[in-house]
Chains A and B, each alone.
Chain A
Amino acid sequence: MIEIDEELCKGCGICVDFCPLKVFETSDKINSRGYYPPLPVKEKDCVGCRLCELLCPEFSIIIINE
């Protein structure tokens, strides 16, 4: 499962562009610093490859594999 700390996000969009299964979409709500964090719209598709977790420059995404 995908946990996003929206307050750490800077809205660079790397997770949105590079997820192999296109799980993320950019949210239309801004966080307290004015960035658009990602939204895991297709979380059911996630296979837990952890690419987004490692590519995130801000430690904003944590993947938990049960």
Chain B
Amino acid sequence: MAEDADRKEVAEKRRHRLFKYLRKEVLPTAFCPGCGCGIVLNCYAHAVDELQLDPNDIVAVTGIGCSSWIPSPYFLGDTLHTTHGRPIPFATGVKVMQPDKTVVVIAGDGDLIGIGGNHLIHAARRNIDIKVFLVNNLIYGMTGGQLAPTTPLGISTTTSPHGNVEHPFEIAELVAAAGASYVARWTTYHVFPLMESMQKALTKKGFCFLEIRSQCPISYGRRVGQRTGSEALQEYKESSVRIEDAAEMSPEELEGKIIIGKLIEREKEEFTGNLRKLNVELRTKKTGRSPEEWSLS
């Protein structure tokens, strides 16, 4: 009996270590059973825990959709739950005014690519120091499974009952080409590399982008024969190809595969630093006083 009590106590301590990053009064989550959003939240909480970051130094910005629920309400920290598709403009504002904070955007594909696609491309071009974790479930899940710009060719959805005739976005490649500092793609099955990648993104300067392929058993999975989270994860396990191996494969062999790994990592000048430098330079020239002599008025 005494052993049992000890065990409970140790577990409680360990659980408490993780739960200090979560609003535990709202747990269990509102996600469907087997949803990938919970796995992303889990990896994110573990990544923040491993880095020993103070949650008060993180500002999480999010939009509308299932995956926007990951930081708000579950992650304990400052959160902005913004209008549909606009988390990146809000995050840009936060980062420019509070450059010391780590600004994280966690949102879905409908939000970041569908509604706010242009914001994403331009934030990558500016190379502003925000971390974008895109949870890509290939569909608009919350509203009942409508066609998203990431839905693969031929899949029937609520708004494409006879099959999708549009090609999907290859979003990680797009963001890498637009000029981001760090881009990687993982799935919810690859939890350990995903966690390491999140740590890398949280500590690297510049625009960091992670595409996380995630399952939606309710709105997407039932249309493609992945009715449970396990079936989708099994599919990810079997159809994922490391980017190093993909370089030696032909386009026919890569058909239907998910290329995982780090797409790009480079050092590049960052937007907020450049903006601040220019600001100081012009203000010094205009007032004739160095930044130390500036008063708040």
Contact = CB atoms under 8 A, between A and B. Distances in A.
B14 A17 contact: no
Nearest to B230: A17
A53 B229 CA distance: 15
A51 B191 CA distance: 8
B29 A58 contact: yes
Contacts of A53: 42
A35 to B, nearest CB: 7
- Size band of the interface chain A makes with B: 20 to 34
Interface string B1-41: 00000011011001100110010000111010111111101
A59 B33 contact: no
User: Taking chain B's interface residues, is the majority helix, strand, or loop, or is none over half, making it mixed?
Assistant: helix
Interface string A1-19: 1010101101111101110
Contacts of A12: 33-34, 228-230
A59 B75 CA distance: 13
Nearest to B231: A17
A57 B42 contact: yes
Which one of A8, A12, A16 has the greatest number of beta carbons of chain B within 10 Å? Answer: A12
A14 to B, nearest CB: 5
B233 A18 contact: yes
Which one of B33, B195, B233 has the greatest number of beta carbons of chain A within 10 Å? Answer: B33
A30 interface: no
A17 B45 CA distance: 23
B16 to A, nearest CB: 10
Nearest to A63: B14
User: Taking chain A's interface residues, is the majority helix, strand, or loop, or is none over half, making it mixed?
Assistant: loop
B133 to A, nearest CB: 15
A48 B19 CA distance: 20
B162 to A, nearest CB: 31
Contacts of A59: 15, 18-19, 22, 27, 38, 42, 45
A64 B10 contact: yes
Given A10-B28, A64-B10, A54 B195 contact: yes
B38 A62 contact: no
Which one of A8, A13, A18, A59 has the greatest number of beta carbons of chain B within 10 Å? Answer: A59
Contacts of A14: 34, 229-230, 233
A12 B31 CA distance: 11
Given A1-B7, A18-B230, A64-B10, A57 B35 contact: yes
B181 to A, nearest CB: 26
Given A5-B15, A10-B28, A59-B22, 7 more contacts: A13-B34, A13-B230, A17-B230, A54-B191, A57-B34, A57-B41, A59-B45
Interface of A: 1, 3, 5, 7-8, 10-14, 16-18, 35, 51, 53-59, 62, 64
